[in-house]
Structure 1
Amino acid sequence: MTRTWFITGANRGLGRAFTMAALAAGDRVVATARDPRTMDDLTDERLTVLPLDVRDRESVFATVAAAFDKSGSIDVIVNNAGYGLVGALEELTEAQIRDQMDTNFYGALWVSQAATPYLRAQGSGHIVQISTVGAVGSLPLFSIYNASKWALEGLSSSLADELRPFGIAVTMAQMGGFDTDWAKSSMKFPEGLPAYQGLREGILGMPDYPDRSAAPEVGETESETETDGSTDADENAEWVEAAPEVGAAGLLALVNDPNPPLRKIIGPGAQEMVAMALDQRRQDYVRDPEFTWPA
């Protein structure tokens, strides 16, 4: 059966890979991007491209309505739009923090909220929140990025319980490392404070942040090395970045699952990173004599 997808941030990185994979599978795609001209090279007749800034709630609701109106029904919602913000909490401005949450968290929230009445009316659908292994663990300098994804996972866990009785599935796709622009042109940095120079060298391998004065283009949200907060360079050296097509194949397998899980780890090495983060949490809890970790 031919499916219809709605994918945000579809113009680059994983979003473009998701779009291409869905089209290659014979499905239809409604793809969104801040600047739809960045997708002019894709001429598939099964592709519809709509402009959308996910930070604008009114625009999100209008665009989702237009997508359902054009398609009749939508089977898969992929909340992919987002970017990385790196910096110690002390270094970040209010505007940087709010923009990160508006894009990574509220953007997915608005799309989910706008799509829910349509999915409920049709009695089916699958909302996939593109999350990260950083929503299980954490890493210094990634506090607000981690916060945006932890918030998304808390929202999605409750949303899954709310929508399950209506035949709607919700999955958090916890992505590992992928070779995209997430850690390049899409990443934002603050003005660095000298006090955190050693931390920057330990985590990023550089004493100062790159100069990224231009605003990021919202496109993809993949994790880099969000694990258990370690700054051990040798440990981080084991991290492997895969081609976006690998992530797209994992997403296709997920949406093909007749009983999709609430959480799905996608990406080489990502399972190990999640295991490390959960073990760190276990070590914290086992120090409490009144707490018993489930077998």
Structure 2
Amino acid sequence: MAKTIFITGASRGFGKIWAEAFLKRGDKVVATARNTDTLNDLVATYGDAILPLQLDVNNREQVFTAVNKANQHFGVIDVLINNAGYGLFGTIEETSEQEARDQIETNVFGLLWVTQAVLPIMREQGRGHIIQVSSVLGLVTLPILGLYNASKFAVEGLSETLASEVKGFGINVSLIEPNGFSTDWAGASAINSKPMEIYDPIRAAFQAGLTEDSFGVPEATSDAVLKLVDSENPPLRLFLGKVALPWVQQVYAGRLSEWAEWSDVATAAHGK
């Protein structure tokens, strides 16, 4: 059965790839972007099946207007994919106040506004699926990406809480956690803080750790996302790529070991 999908950040990368995958199989898509001209090719190919909407997710009023317009246009929103966001490269010390605020504003608050806007619609429908595009960096971290890591850790906590709050309304919540993929996320879409020479060795080590095999093929993710959307019992978390799960398993094994090592101290702190 065809679904209606609302996707933010659909101008390029994952958002556009997934929008086209849905359209190809006969779904209807509300595709949002800051510049809807980037969606002209999809409109030319798929016509009325796609509704392009100009949207800056940082503008809460505009978000609610866009979501309500989409619902009025197609009569339903079955799935929300919160994909809008970007990467900020820079060490914690290098990051300016404005860069930090902008990163959290888009990656966390933008996602929150769209989620809040769609919830009343899905509650009234008695069904829906909210898919938050997080990252493996919402579970583990890399240097040079501190504020991005922080934004995705926030998305993880927000969304896991949301899942427990809305399950009774027939609404599912899933977090997509990709490892690195060969999109322009680290290129034209990224912001770079002004570098400090003292951190050059950290940057060099970061770059040295990246290999061609570290990055997946973006187009290969479509089948996984289609399966997630079609699942009657979707998971809370879905990794994309072959790097993410082994990495998280390794890091969490270390965390569990350290927590166990300090468990006597932790228990004594309870006081009774």
TM-score (norm 2): 0.93
1:118-197 mapped onto 2 (5 Å cutoff): 118-197=121-200
Once the two structures are superposed, residues 37-92 of structure 1 have per-residue CA deviations (whole angstroms, 9 ceiling, x without a partner) of 11111121211100000111111111111111111111110000011001111111
Once the two structures are superposed, residues 137-164 of structure 1 have per-residue CA deviations (whole angstroms, 9 ceiling, x without a partner) of 0011111000000001100011011110
2:90 matched residue in structure 1: 87
The separation in 1 between residues aligned to 2:223 and 2:99, in whole angstroms, is 33
1:202-213 mapped onto 2 (5 Å cutoff): 202-205=205-208
- Of residues 215, 219, 225, the one that matches 1:241 is 215
After the TM superposition, which segments of 4 or more aligned residues of structure 1 sit over 4 Å from their partners? none
Residue identity matched to 2:68: A
Q: CA deviation at 1:289?
A: 3.2
- Report SS of the residue matched to 1:242: coil
Q: CA deviation at 1:239?
A: 4.5
- Report SS of the residue matched to 1:126: strand
1:65 matched residue in structure 2: 68
- Report SS of the residue matched to 1:91: coil
- Report SS of the residue matched to 1:183: coil
Residue identity matched to 2:87: G
2:240 matched residue in structure 1: 266
Residue 99 in 1 paired to residue 107 in 2? no
The separation in 1 between residues aligned to 2:113 and 2:197, in whole angstroms, is 38
Q: CA deviation at 1:202?
A: 0.7
1:276 matched residue in structure 2: 250
The separation in 2 between residues aligned to 1:117 and 1:19, in whole angstroms, is 23
Residue identity matched to 2:19: T
- Of residues 256, 261, 267, the one that matches 1:287 is 261
Q: Percent identity?
A: 43
- Report SS of the residue matched to 1:50: strand
Residue identity matched to 2:33: A
Greater relative contact order (Cα 8 A, min sep 6): structure 1 or 2? 1
**Is this contact kept in 2: 1:177–1:239, CA < 8 A?**
no
Q: CA deviation at 1:238?
A: 7.6
**Is this contact kept in 2: 1:178–1:247, CA < 8 A?**
no
RMSD: 1.5
Residue identity matched to 1:284: E
Q: CA deviation at 1:255?
A: 1.1
How many matched pairs?
Answer: 263
The separation in 2 between residues aligned to 1:289 and 1:70, in whole angstroms, is 56
**Is this contact kept in 2: 1:131–1:175, CA < 8 A?**
yes
The separation in 2 between residues aligned to 1:259 and 1:131, in whole angstroms, is 20
Residue 15 in 1 paired to residue 15 in 2? yes
Residue identity matched to 2:71: F
Distance 1:36 1:70, change over 3 A: same
TM-score (norm 1): 0.86
- Report SS of the residue matched to 2:130: strand
1:30-69 mapped onto 2 (5 Å cutoff): 30-42=30-42, 43=44, 44-45=46-47, 46-69=49-72
Q: CA deviation at 1:284?
A: 2.2
Larger helix proportion of the pair:
2
* Structure 2: runs of 5+ lacking an equivalent: 268-272
* Structure 1: runs of 5+ lacking an equivalent: 206-232
- Report SS of the residue matched to 1:73: coil
**Is this contact kept in 2: 1:246–1:267, CA < 8 A?**
no
**Is this contact kept in 2: 1:241–1:268, CA < 8 A?**
no
The separation in 1 between residues aligned to 2:247 and 2:223, in whole angstroms, is 20
The separation in 1 between residues aligned to 2:254 and 2:122, in whole angstroms, is 38
